[in-house]
């Protein structure tokens, strides 16, 4: 493609390439900042079609959020039909972060990352969207801030099944995705989160199946076969018959013997075979595993309120419990208290973020016409029967030299492409 058409950006280097897109690191000539620019290989016929892409609509609906990747602007070349998504640039993805590590990560760091990941999924699900391709490559990190990316495969929570059958990468695909003809829900995301959780703890994938049957075998090796009534429910929505001999799994604790009890408890709830029994993102945030983070958030809340009262010059109706904090702030001891507050600081209050979505600049490179911001449609209104715009499913080749996925299965566009030398599996 002609990168020279991006007149407002200087291309620094290619980050990665997939079947349907290419990603480069680019520097804005306007503000000097660096961005990740994802250019679609499939031509787009119009700006309207570009704005109606499921990935673009989802990013506009979900932003702003501290754990969702930010879309900066769209660049549409009318002459060639080329569409580029300019997004914030992160340092690395989770796969790159844990690749080659010899020592396990501290539990506090794992907890910090998993809490942010659950925050991102809770935000998505509460906005009527589920991701469908949660995996280490699509989870991005920068200075200990975690953000979820790659929304090209997302779907409305209110769309009716059957959905696309082969959607998420096999290693992170939930049993209901493997055993039914597309009858799955947003709970599939939580299964994937459980697989990522295990991988961050152990530095190895949990269920690295080489094909669908091997994938189910690996799941049963660890978790055992489910109750026959659940299998029967799956069979009702599957054209092909399947049977699994009863088996008792080895258990997750045997694979990560040094894992704490709260970690194991949350892992098992994320990896519940029955999606109806699987924990949701919001409930996961309230799990005992994250108790210390929640307590830190509450302390940070109290401290901010106390400092806010002090800076307002009136303690007014400040409760007695806040008085010591207020006095400490008044005496110039704020830093002494702040350093004891657990990170990350609270981001639960909507008032901390703009009430409206950030302006999305739609740029058409010269000699094309520049489209003003108001040409970008507003975020979709969520209704009980709404759905994200349909987009034709694409198929992609496996990324493994040693196949991780069968070549005939569908693949998904990566927002943040893996390293060029990446040889991990397919779809």
Q: Which residues are annotated binding-site positions for ATP?
A: 38
Classify 110 as helix, strand or coil: helix
Q: What's CA 367's distance to the chain center, in Å?
A: 36
From the annotation, which residues make up the binding site?
38
Query: How many angstroms separate the Cα of 181 from the Cα of each of 1, 201, 301, 412?
Result: 37, 32, 46, 18
Q: Is 77 annotated as catalytic? A: no
d(Cα 133, Cα 420) in Å, to the nearest integer? 20
- Exposure string of 315-341, with b = 16+ CB inside 10 Å and e = fewer, is eeebeeebeebbebbeeeebeebeeeb
User: Could you say which DSSP state residue 231 is in?
Assistant: H
**Which candidate in 122, 133, 150, 189 is catalytic?**
133
Please confirm whether the linkage preceding 344 is cis (ω < 30° from 0).
yes
Distance CA 153, CA 129 (A): 10
Asked if residues 422 and 406 have their Cβ atoms less than 8 Å apart, the reply is no
Q: How far apart are CA 147 and CA 358, in angstroms?
A: 17
Positions annotated as catalytic residues are 133
């Amino acid at each position: 493609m002609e990168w020279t058409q991006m007149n407002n950006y200087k291309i620094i280097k290619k980050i990665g390439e997939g079947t349907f897109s290419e990603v480069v690191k680019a520097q804005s000539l306007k503000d000097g900042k660096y961005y990740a620019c994802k250019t679609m290989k499939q031509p787009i016929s119009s700006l309207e079609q570009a704005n109606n892409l499921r990935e673009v609509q989802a990013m506009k609906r979900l932003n702003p959020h501290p754990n969702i990747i930010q879309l900066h602007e769209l660049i549409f070349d009318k002459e060639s039909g080329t569409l580029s998504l300019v997004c914030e640039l992160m340092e690395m993805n989770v796969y790159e972060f844990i690749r080659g590590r010899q020592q396990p990560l501290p539990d506090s760091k794992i907890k910090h990352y998993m809490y942010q990941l659950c925050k991102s999924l809770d935000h998505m699900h509460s906005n009527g969207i589920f991701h469908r391709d949660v995996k280490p490559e699509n989870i991005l990190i920068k200075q200990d801030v975690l953000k979820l990316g790659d929304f090209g495969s997302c779907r409305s929570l209110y769309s009716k099944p059957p959905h696309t059958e082969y959607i998420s990468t096999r290693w992170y695909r939930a049993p209901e995705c493997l055993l039914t003809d597309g009858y799955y829900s947003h709970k599939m995301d939580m299964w994937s989160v459980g697989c990522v959780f295990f991988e961050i703890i152990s530095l190895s994938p949990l269920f690295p199946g080489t094909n669908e049957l091997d994938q189910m075998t690996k799941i049963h090796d660890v978790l055992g076969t489910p109750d026959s009534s659940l299998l029967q429910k799956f069979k009702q929505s599957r054209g092909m018959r399947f049977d699994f001999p009863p088996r008792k799994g080895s258990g997750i604790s045997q694979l990560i013997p040094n894992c704490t009890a709260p970690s194991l408890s949350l892992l098992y709830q994320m990896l519940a075979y029955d999606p109806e029994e699987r924990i949701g993102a919001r409930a996961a945030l309230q799990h005992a595993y994250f108790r210390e983070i929640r307590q830190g958030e509450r302390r940070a809340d109290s401290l901010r309120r106390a400092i806010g009262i002090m800076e307002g010059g009136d303690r007014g109706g400040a409760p007695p419990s806040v008085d010591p904090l207020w006095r400490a702030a008044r005496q110039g001891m704020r830093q002494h208290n702040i350093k004891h507050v657990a990170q990350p600081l609270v981001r639960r209050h909507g008032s901390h973020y703009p009430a409206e979505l950030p302006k999305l600049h739609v740029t058409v490179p010269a000699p094309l016409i520049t489209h003003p911001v108001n040409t970008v449609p507003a975020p979709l209104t969520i209704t009980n029967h709404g759905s994200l715009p349909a987009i034709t499913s694409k198929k992609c080749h496996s990324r493994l030299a040693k196949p991780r996925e069968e070549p005939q299965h569908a693949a998904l566009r990566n927002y943040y492409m893996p390293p060029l030398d990446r040889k991990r599996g397919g779809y």
